[in-house]
Amino acid sequence: MPTIKELCERLLRDNKPDDVVAAHIWCAEDVIGKAKERHYICTPEQANEILEDIDSHIDSELGITWMTLDCTIQDKCKLEPLCLSCQFKDNCSRPERNDPDTDCEFYEESEE
């Protein structure tokens, strides 16, 4: 898979500087952000592997979409553990998630 530097060199080699082109660029930050949004753990190395996998299996008729990232993330990454007490992972106020001896504020609210 090309780096940004290699892609820019190729574009400048094969095109005139004022040529109009269409490009959609995906980076590791996109993969990591989508993984986090879906509650998956994704390291920068995994994100690069995902991009390489997507690039090597691209279907030019369909392109690369957020759904492409979703499906590949699900195949390659692990789900984050949820707070065992409250299931409000994003808002859990407990310092140590998955510690069943400590409840967070959301757990107490949900029992009333």
β-pair partners for 41: 78
Q: How far apart are CA 44 and CA 35, in angstroms?
A: 11
The pTM assigned to this predicted structure is: 0.67
pLDDT tens digits, one per residue of 11-39? 999 999 899 988 889 999 999 999 988 88
Supply the Cα-derived Rg of the chain in whole angstroms.
20
Contact between 101 and 91 (Cβ < 8 Å): no
pLDDT tens digits, one per residue of 36-55? 888 888 999 999 999 999 99
Query: Mind giving me the DSSP string for 3-65?
Result: -HHHHHHHHHHHS-TT---------HHHHHHHHHHTTEE--HHHHHHHHHHHHHT--TTT---
pLDDT of 78 over the 70 cut: yes
pLDDT of 77 over the 80 cut: yes
Q: Domain limits of the chain?
A: 1-80, 81-112
